[in-house]
Every structure is written in C-alpha cells, then in structure tokens.
C-alpha cells in the first residue's frame, strides 16, 4: 500500500448505528487529519492529530469521536448520526515542521457516508 488509504470507501448507516472509519498513512508522516466535505461546500477541518496528540477539534459534535493509536493510523468513530452528516469524509497526513516538514497534506480517497 502507498500513500493514504481509507476504509470503507462507501458506508450507509442508520441513525442508530455505530460504525468506524479507518485511515492509514504509509508516508512516514507525523500529523493526521479528518475533514468533512459536503456537497457544494468547502472542506471543513474536523480533527488534527500531531505526534499522536489531538491538537484541534473544530467544535465537532460529540457523535464523532476520533482515535489515533499511533502515527500511522487514525479512526473516526460514528454513533447516532443525523442525515445532515452525510458527506465525503477525508483523511489526510503531513509532515510537520518538527520533523523537517513542509506542511504538504496528502489526502486519502475518502469515505462516502450516507446516513438514512
């Protein structure tokens, strides 16, 4: 595997379900991100993990819960979602300045989430 991978690629879930999105980066980066992209809206940053510590949480509802067990893996746990949460969820990674980074973010293919 190369780059940033995400699974599943498509997910349909009911409002009472619990599911998790997985992201893995194979670039040796030390920062990982979750973004939400809704139709005809700009990218919304949800969570940032740098050196495995969460450094930003942009007022995201608690029904979204991130987990970063190590610098290569990132999860987004979902529970009791709403239909308006239907969107493309994107994971990205970058090398931050502490490790000679240049802030370039590389995105995974995304998970298309539909909440019914």
Max Cα–Cα distance, the chain, nearest Å? 44
Bridge-based pairing of strands 87-94 and 64-70 is: unpaired
Question: Which of 5, 46, 96, 115 contacts another protein by CB under 8 A?
Answer: 96
Least distance to another protein from the beta carbon of 21, Å?
Answer: 14
| Nearer to another protein among residue 39 and residue 70 (C-beta) | 39
The window from 15-23, 66-74, 78-86, 97-105 that contacts another protein (CB under 8 A) reads 97-105
In Å, how far are 18, 24, 51 from 63, measured between CA atoms? 10, 22, 24
Residue 97 backbone dihedrals phi, psi, to 5 degrees = -60, -25
Summarize as ranges the residues that interact with another protein (CB under 8 A): 31, 41-43, 45, 48, 50, 55-56, 88, 90, 94, 96, 102-110
């Amino acid at each position: 595997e190369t780059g940033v991978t995400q699974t599943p690629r498509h997910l349909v879930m009911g409002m009472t379900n619990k599911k998790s999105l997985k992201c893995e980066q194979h670039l040796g980066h030390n920062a990982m991100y979750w973004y939400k992209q809704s139709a005809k809206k700009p990218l919304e940053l949800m969570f940032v993990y740098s050196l495995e510590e969460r450094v930003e949480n942009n007022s995201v509802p608690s029904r979204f819960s991130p987990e970063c067990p190590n610098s290569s893996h990132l999860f987004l746990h979902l529970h009791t979602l709403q239909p308006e949460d239907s969107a493309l969820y994107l994971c990205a990674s970058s090398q931050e300045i502490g490790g000679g980074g240049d802030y370039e973010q590389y995105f995974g293919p995304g998970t298309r989430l539909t909440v019914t």
